[in-house]
């Protein structure tokens, strides 16, 4: 079913911190904005993080107000559990098809009371908790999800009817269908963020099959104040880990396979996690195996020095492979780079992989121009329009343009909002916008060559 097209000034694709910040800035300028987010809640990766480097502020405490502000802003409409399917040029703007996936729960009537969740008997690994802990087949995605609306996982639903009976407002709708919503927008901001390389990407690192080898995003959940276990325990047996190791550049700065470039945030989040572990488990040994530490931002070097002073061990070494012993302790085989290049095996209780970061979305899926060779969106090379892509009227914000930390993503979001607003103003005051503001796509670059 296709709904009648609604019109907004700017469509933001992606409801992570960058997309939300861009939407709020535009909304505050009086422009109408729609945010399309493919997950059932806005918030992106940030809402799942424990604390932020280098201040160690609680992530959820600073992200949740942003999510609420966007959701309740008079000029912003959020569409969750929705994906942009097709973007077409129409006059001076865009006609966009957005697929709204069925939640099997009526968004208008659901109050987020969770009675459906309590009634459901199905238990599945909780994605938001990195696969640790359990969720039901019908569930509110996480405690501070926005909107507070349940979603029913039809692939795992037994259709037993218990949730339907438990719902006091009759919100369960097993027959809900996907809907295509059409939107007209004057400009687009792509804020589709990043994903981590899959956990089993480095097979010789044992991630996936080895239960005590975690991804860094899983480690964020173990360290989060409202994490799955309420404290740091290793997944295989619930033991409090006494020795934890970080493996840096697991798939990034890897010219043969994986991501050739530096993922920019891994050194700092590993140091952050190591400090949080040292605080939570004062007797534990924490080691970071790295090629070098890139502490380039404001306050980062001091943060690194503080970690060293806390007793976190930094070992310049290449990790060749990770196996496990009979008690599921990961055994790390390293080549020490600092000294004589000797090869050693070291046993830890738990290992965390800083896997490389890759783009969250390929814009070609919606008919937009090809990204750069690394898959992240390509910006036009103008110092005065840093968020303008090679496509007229399309801007980029946050990690969609390449891995970056939250402050940089927020600054870029503000810049994208300002550039999109200026673009719309120029468009409206003159049918042909100034060439400097809107670069003409170069065919070779647009084709990703």
User: What residues line the site for ligand FAD (CB under 6 A)?
Assistant: 13-19, 36-39, 44-46, 49, 52-53, 83-84, 191-194, 196, 216-217, 220, 265, 269, 272, 360-361, 398-400, 404-407, 409
Q: How far is the CB of 195 from ligand FAD (least distance, A)?
A: 7
And the tokens for 1? 């079913």
Q: How far is the CB of 49 from ligand FAD (least distance, A)?
A: 5
Q: How far is the CB of 96 from ligand FAD (least distance, A)?
A: 11
Smaller CB distance to ligand FAD: residue 70 or 138?
70
Q: Is the dihedral of CA 336, 342, 346, 350 positive or negative?
A: positive
Smaller CB distance to ligand FAD: residue 227 or 433?
227
Smaller CB distance to ligand FAD: residue 279 or 407?
407
Is the separation of the CB atoms in 236 and 352 below 8 Å? no
Smaller CB distance to ligand FAD: residue 45 or 202?
45
Smaller CB distance to ligand FAD: residue 44 or 93?
44
Longest dimension (CA), the chain: 72
Smaller CB distance to ligand FAD: residue 104 or 303?
303
Element of type H or E holding 193: none
CA distance 68 to 53: 23
Q: How far is the CB of 126 from ligand FAD (least distance, A)?
A: 17
Is the separation of the CB atoms in 39 and 216 below 8 Å? no
First to last CA, the chain: 38
C-beta atoms surrounding 20 within 10 Å = 32
Q: How far is the CB of 386 from ligand FAD (least distance, A)?
A: 15
Q: How far is the CB of 37 from ligand FAD (least distance, A)?
A: 5
Q: How far is the CB of 273 from ligand FAD (least distance, A)?
A: 8
Helices (H), 260-393: 266-280, 300-309
Smaller CB distance to ligand FAD: residue 241 or 398?
398
And the tokens for 407? 């402050």
Element of type H or E holding 35: strand 33-36
Which residues face 247 on adjacent strands? 289, 353
Q: How far is the CB of 45 from ligand FAD (least distance, A)?
A: 4
Smaller CB distance to ligand FAD: residue 57 or 344?
57
CA distance 220 to 101: 28
What is the bridge-based pairing of β-strands 285-290 and 313-324?
parallel
Q: How far is the CB of 360 from ligand FAD (least distance, A)?
A: 4
CA distance 273 to 270: 5
Smaller CB distance to ligand FAD: residue 41 or 171?
41
CA distance 396 to 13: 9
Q: Which residues contact 202 (CB under 8 A, 6 or more apart)?
A: 250, 251, 258, 353, 355
């Amino acid at each position: 079913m296709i709904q009648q097209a609604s019109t907004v000034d700017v469509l933001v694709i992606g409801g992570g911190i960058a997309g939300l910040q861009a939407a709020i800035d535009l909304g505050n300028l009086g422009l109408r904005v729609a945010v399309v987010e493919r997950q059932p809640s806005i918030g992106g990766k940030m809402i799942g993080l424990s604390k932020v480097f280098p201040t160690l502020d609680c992530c959820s405490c600073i992200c949740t107000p942003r999510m609420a502000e966007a959701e309740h802003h008079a000029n912003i409409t959020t569409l969750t559990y929705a994906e942009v399917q097709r973007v077409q040029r129409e006059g001076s703007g865009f006609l966009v098809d957005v697929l709204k996936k069925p939640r099997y729960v009526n968004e208008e009537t659901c109050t987020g009371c969770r009675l459906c969740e309590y009634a459901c008997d199905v238990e599945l690994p909780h994605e938001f908790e990195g696969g640790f802990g359990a969720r039901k087949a019908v569930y509110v995605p996480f405690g501070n999800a926005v909107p507070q609306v349940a979603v029913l996982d039809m692939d795992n639903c037994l259709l037993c009817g218990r949730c339907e009976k438990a719902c006091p407002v009759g919100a369960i709708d097993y027959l809900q269908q996907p809907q295509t919503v059409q939107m007209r927008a004057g400009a687009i901001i792509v804020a589709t963020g990043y994903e981590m390389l899959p956990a089993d990407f480095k097979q010789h690192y044992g991630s996936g099959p080895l239960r005590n080898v975690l991804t860094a995003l899983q480690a964020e959940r173990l360290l989060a104040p409202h994490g799955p276990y309420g404290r740091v325990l290793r997944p295989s047996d619930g033991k409090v880990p006494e020795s934890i190791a970080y493996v840096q550049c697991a798939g990034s700065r890897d010219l043969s396979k994986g991501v050739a470039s530096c993922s920019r945030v891994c050194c700092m989040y590993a140091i952050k996690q190591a400090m949080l572990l040292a605080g939570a488990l004062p007797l534990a040994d924490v080691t970071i195996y790295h090629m070098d530490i890139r502490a380039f931002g404001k306050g980062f070097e001091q943060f690194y020095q503080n970690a060293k002073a806390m007793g976190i061990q930094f070992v310049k070494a290449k990790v060749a492979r990770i196996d496990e012993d009979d008690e599921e302790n990961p055994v790390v085989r390293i080549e020490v780079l600092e000294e004589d290049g000797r090869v050693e095996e070291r046993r830890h209780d738990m290992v965390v992989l800083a896997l490389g970061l890759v783009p969250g979305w390929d814009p070609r899926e919606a008919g937009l121009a090809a990204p750069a060779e690394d898959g992240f969106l390509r910006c036009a090379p103008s110092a005065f329009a840093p968020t303008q892509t090679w496509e007229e009227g399309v801007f980029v914000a946050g990690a969609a343009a390449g891995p970056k930390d939250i402050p940089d993503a927020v600054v870029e979001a503000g810049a994208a909002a300002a550039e999109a607003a200026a673009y719309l103003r120029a468009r409206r005051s003159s049918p042909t916008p100034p060439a400097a503001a809107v670069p003409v796509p170069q065919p070779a670059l647009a084709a990703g060559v």
